[in-house]
Structure 1
Amino acid sequence: MKYTTLPNTSLKISTICLGTMTFGNQNTEAEAHSQLDYAIERGINFIDTAEMYPIGGNAQIFGSTERHIGSWIKKSGKRDAIVLATKIAGPNRGMEYIRNPLDFSKKSITEAVELSLKNLQTDTIDLYQMHWPERVMNMFGKRGVQQIDEKWTDSVCDVLTTFEGLIKEGKIKHIGVSNENPFGVMRFLQESERHNLPRIVSIQNPYSLLNRLFEVGLSEMCIRENVGLMAYSPLGFGFLTGKYLSGFPEKSRLKTFPNFIRYSNENCFKATRLYKDLAESNGMKLSQMALAFVNQQSLVMSTIIGATSLEQLKENINAFDTILSPEVLMEIEKIQEMIPNPAP
């Protein structure tokens, strides 16, 4: 396993991060514990979750992902062996069962942190992230901003001040953003510098062969400002395994959650077929090449992988041993030029 340092911190993190959004819905508590045990065994020490998980959640199973991780921490006694990241849910997502209102007010942030600490059975959260912005902007199926959210009131300074208080209390250590664009990153960096407030150290955004939009605008900003990319959906919701090219298998993620349509347009199918042919002509599985590609990008701090079975998890972790040749990388760029970023 390779490791790096979470930017502007002393925390050593694995370049593979275990994503956990299936725990509590697609995976039982016992299966979650098995995945955590195996990940630690393989050298992964970076665990990412969120208060809204599991995916496909509702009021009945809300928070069960964090609770499964918490019961593992209590049982294993390995809290000090992991760097633990979680997220607060923002507004505009129809999840009022989490709290109402869903915002980043001091009250909401404080309540969210307290509940996550309780669920995770820990005294501190190493990386606390905003799952998506308070303002309405381009995320989950949209490529750009064409209409400004006039209802949004810029509260970045207040949000950072709240986080400062929680850091002083020892309840969180560092903060990050997720599903953000350059404007949001800029505002958090501006306010932290102007008022000597906590600085964001990470951004969690999609990045894969089907979605390289991070390279447009965000990459230079984050590299120059030392904000580390946690790349999520490196397999495009399983699309880059190739399993959806002939239909949606029962119990697969896109069959289970048909509303997640960002990877299922015609161009995603076309690009995936080309990437699959390229991988197989070079003696690789498509998923192996897709994960190796993300891992090989210098702008990626850590790649988040998740699985519904131990076999999938093992295969995904093994893919990170693959080094793509310059020739394969060149062919990947040709496909990207033909069908750029088909997944918005």
Structure 2
Amino acid sequence: MQMTTLGRSGLEVSKLCLGTMTFGTQTGVEDAHAQIERASEAGINFLDSAEMYPVNPIRAETVGRSEEIVGDWFAKTGRRGDWIVATKHTGEGQKAVRDGAPITAETIPAAIEASLKRLKTDVIDLYQFHWPNRGSYAFRQNWEYEPWPGDRAATLQHMHDALGALRDEVVRGTIRHFGLSNESTWGTAMWLKVAEETGGPRVVSIQNEYSLVCRLADTDLAELMVNEEVGLLPYSPLGAGLLTGKYQGGAIPAASRMDLNGNLGGRKSERVFPAVEAYLGVARDFGLDPVRMALAWTLRRPFVASSIFGATTLEQLEHLLPAAELVLSDEVLKALNAVHHAHPMPY
């Protein structure tokens, strides 16, 4: 398994990161623990969770269950030291968590304590903000999100206050490093600037959606990440399952994500299926497995630190693992870029 350094953190993480957002809904405890075991055997040392997980659906009664399942494995095996653990503080507006309260200096300590308890650990290696209070281009909101009128002073004050609280947690030993999720280029730049001014923990990573069918990170954000040494942690590198091809031709497999939530969180569109078919065509032309091709493509990008994959079943995880060693030729990359030019922003 290839390893990489996460930003300026000094953490050595595997190029594949085990996502846990289905642990407790689509993925039962036994299968979840089997996935953790198998991923570790394959050389993966990095897992990602969040206080609001599991999803599909998000419910108040299941909030935190994914972290609990991971924590139970740590307690059962005594192998917490084998893993770099990342989790996230829920952003504003998610009613199932603290009734949709925003991220504040006051919510941070309690949220960290709750995650530590569920994860059955003394420290979180990477603590992330799930999305910014001010709103986001993420979750298909890039079509409507308007950053004006924004309250710059209030946003910067929030960053000062939040980084102060995070600095206290680093000193206390409950977290090691800080990362963002679903952030913009400007937002990331401001977090970096405020950290320099205050001595607060510096952003080491940003977890945004990124795949062959969602390349929003390829321009301004990519430039920032490369120059400021902030690693991208792509989520949904398979386009929420679209790039597997399993939804082509109107198919909706039972218990799949589309079966559970209908439109894949806004990713289902008239334009996405022709785009997927074109990517599947590249895989066929070059004799590649489309799932491994799509995942391997994210790993090759120079600003990607580790790509977060989610597997509902152990069998799916086994199928994904060889992507870590797959090297895509220049011809394949050229063909994939040609599809991107023909089918930009399909959702």
Matches within 5 A, 1:181-200: 181-200=184-203
CA displacement, residues 167-189 of structure 1 (integer Å, 9 cap, x when unaligned): 00000000000001111101101
Which of residues 214, 219, 226 in structure 1 aligns to 2:217?
214
1:4 corresponds to 2:10: no
Asked if 2 retains the 8 angstrom alpha-carbon contact of 1:136 and 1:149, the reply is no
1:311 corresponds to 2:315: yes
Rounded to whole Å, the distance in 1 between the matches of 2:150 and 2:222 is 27
1:283 corresponds to 2:287: yes
Which residue does the alignment assign to 2:342?
Answer: 338
Worse-matched range after superposition: 113-122 or 244-253:
244-253
Q: Secondary structure of 1:71's match? A: helix
CA displacement, residues 31-65 of structure 1 (integer Å, 9 cap, x when unaligned): 11110000101110001000000011211111100
Offset of 1:8 from its aligned partner? 1.3
Q: Secondary structure of 1:60's match? A: helix
Offset of 1:149 from its aligned partner? 5.6
1:260 corresponds to 2:264: yes
Task: Calculate percent identity across the aligned residue pairs.
Answer: 40
* Higher percent of residues as helix: 2
Which residue does the alignment assign to 1:26?
Answer: 26
1:140 corresponds to 2:133: no
Q: What letter corresponds to residue 79 of structure 1 in structure 2?
A: R
Rounded to whole Å, the distance in 2 between the matches of 1:73 and 1:148 is 45
Asked if 2 retains the 8 angstrom alpha-carbon contact of 1:205 and 1:232, the reply is yes
Offset of 1:194 from its aligned partner? 1.3
Rounded to whole Å, the distance in 1 between the matches of 2:18 and 2:205 is 16
Greater relative contact order: 1 or 2 (C-alpha under 8 angstroms, separation 6 or more)?
Answer: 2
Worse-matched range after superposition: 136-145 or 297-306:
136-145
Rounded to whole Å, the distance in 2 between the matches of 1:308 and 1:136 is 29
Distance 1:259 1:328, change over 3 A: closer
Rounded to whole Å, the distance in 1 between the matches of 2:341 and 2:261 is 30
Matches within 5 A, 1:1-344: 1-55=1-55, 56-93=57-94, 95=95, 97-100=96-99, 102-143=101-142, 145-148=145-148, 150=150, 153-154=154-155, 155-246=158-249, 247-343=251-347
Asked if 1 retains the 8 angstrom alpha-carbon contact of 2:136 and 2:182, the reply is no
Structure 1 unaligned blocks of 5 or more: none
Offset of 1:262 from its aligned partner? 3.1
Q: Secondary structure of 2:205's match? A: strand
Rounded to whole Å, the distance in 2 between the matches of 1:71 and 1:149 is 45
Quote the RMSD (CA, aligned, Å). 1.4
CA displacement, residues 156-210 of structure 1 (integer Å, 9 cap, x when unaligned): 1101000000000000000000001111101101101112221010000111100
Q: What letter corresponds to residue 22 of structure 1 in structure 2?
A: T
Q: What letter corresponds to residue 339 of structure 2 in structure 1?
A: I
Rounded to whole Å, the distance in 2 between the matches of 1:260 and 1:213 is 18
Rounded to whole Å, the distance in 1 between the matches of 2:167 and 2:182 is 22
Asked if 2 retains the 8 angstrom alpha-carbon contact of 1:209 and 1:341, the reply is no
Q: What letter corresponds to residue 334 of structure 2 in structure 1?
A: M
Rounded to whole Å, the distance in 2 between the matches of 1:146 and 1:166 is 33
Offset of 1:259 from its aligned partner? 4.9
Asked if 1 retains the 8 angstrom alpha-carbon contact of 2:93 and 2:100, the reply is no
Superposition TM-score, scaled by structure 1 size: 0.96
